[in-house]
Chains A and B, each alone.
Chain A
Amino acid sequence: MEIKAEEYQVWHDRTNATVHLQGFLRLKGIEEYQPIMDILVSAVETSSSLTMNLQELEFLNSSGISMLSMFVVKVRQRGNVQLTLHGTDKILWQTKSLKNLQRLMPSLTLHFS
C-alpha cells in the first residue's frame, strides 16, 4: 500500500516490516489522516513487530501527532506488537514531540539517528 502526494509519501515495506513516512504532513484534521492510519493498521495486522521510519518526515502538524498517538494506542491494545519509531535528531519536531508517545506505551522503542 502506498500514498504518493505532492508534499508527502507513505508506504509499507513488507519485507522489512517498516512503514515509511516522508515529506511534509499537515493535513486538515484527524479525518484526513485516515488513509495513512489505514496503512499503519494494516501493516501491524500482519506482523509482530513494526518500525515506523520517520527520518525524512520534515514536518508533522498536531493533527498528525494526534494520528500517531491514536495508532500507538491501537498497537497498545493489541498487546503483542513491538513498535519502533525510527526518527532523527536533526528534525526539530521529532526531538520535541516523539518522546511524548512513550507516555501512551512505555514499551515503545524510540530510536534517533
Chain B
Amino acid sequence: MTNTFVAQTFGAFTDDFSAGEEYLTLSFSPNSAARKRRWGNYGLSADFLGDYFAAFFPGDAVCDSPINRRDTVKAAVSYIANELIENAVKYSEASAKLPISISLYLYEEQIVFRAVSYANQAESDRYQAFIRELLNSELDELYGQQLEKTATGSGESNMGILTMINDYAACFSWKFQPLDDAVAAHSEIVQVNVLVRLDV
C-alpha cells in the first residue's frame, strides 16, 4: 500500500499555538538501547515538568481538597506527562531514528501537553482503532469494561489514556501524519501527535 501522506485527526486537534505563551519542550534522543536504560529518567522528567509548571500557580486552597492548587497542578502534570512519555517510548518505532518530544504550554486556566512520537503503521492503526472505540463509547462504560479486562489479564488495556480522561478530566485529541520516505529512515512511519488539555 502506498502512503498518501494525508493526516488523520481525531477530536479538536490543532497545530496552532499562539506565540508568546509560556512553554517548555523536552526531547529524548532516538537511541533505542539508551531508551531502555533511561526508563527511570522519564519519571524524573515528568516530575520536573510538574515542578516547573506548578511554580506558576499560587499555593491557595482548592475547594473540598486538602491539596493546594500548586500541589494539585504539580501532581496532575507529573502523572499526565509521565503517561504520555511512557506511551510515546513504548509504542515508538526505534528504527525511525527520530526523537520523541513532549511540550507543555501554559495558559490562564489550562495546560496543554503535546507529545510527538513515531510509530510504525501497524502500531498507528492499532492506536487509531482504540481512539475510534473511545470516541464511539460512553466513557464510564468503556472505563469499566477496560478495567475489568485489564484486571482479569485478558487483553490490551489502554488504562493510561483512560485514567487521564476519566480520573483527571483530561481532554485528548490526536493527529496521525504519515511521513514522507525522505524524512523517515524507512517508509511506513507515522508521526503521532497527542494533544492533551488539562483545565487548572
Contacts and interface: CB of A to CB of B under 8 A. Distances in A.
B159 A62 contact: yes
A63 B166 CA distance: 16
A46 to B, nearest CB: 22
B167 A100 contact: yes
Contacts, number: 78
B90 interface: yes
A26 B152 contact: no
A5 B104 CA distance: 30
Interface stretch (B17-25, B71-79, B115-123, B187-195): B71-79
Given A7-B40, A69-B151, A92 B160 contact: no
A89 to B, nearest CB: 6
A24 B159 contact: no
Interface in B83-99: 83, 86, 90
A41 interface: no
Contact of B147 (A28, A69, A91): A69
B128 interface: no
Contacts of A92: 67, 71-72, 75-76, 79
Interface in A11-32: 24, 26, 28-29
Contacts of A110: none
A104 B147 contact: yes
A103 interface: yes
Interface string B8-52: 000000000000000000000000000000011011000000000
B125 interface: no
B66 interface: yes
Given A61-B86, A100-B147, A26 B43 contact: yes
A61 B79 CA distance: 7
Contacts of A59: 43, 78-79, 82
Interface in A66-96: 66, 69-70, 72-73, 89-93, 95-96
A48 interface: no
A66 B150 contact: yes
25 contacts: A26-B82, A26-B86, A61-B82, A61-B86, A61-B160, A62-B86, A65-B163, A66-B157, A70-B150, A72-B151, A73-B148, A73-B151, A73-B152, A89-B65, A91-B67, A91-B75, A92-B72, A96-B163, A97-B167, A100-B143, A100-B166, A100-B167, A104-B147, A104-B148, A104-B151
Interface of B: 39-40, 42-43, 65-67, 71-72, 75-76, 78-79, 82-83, 86, 90, 143-144, 147-148, 150-153, 157, 159-160, 163, 166-168
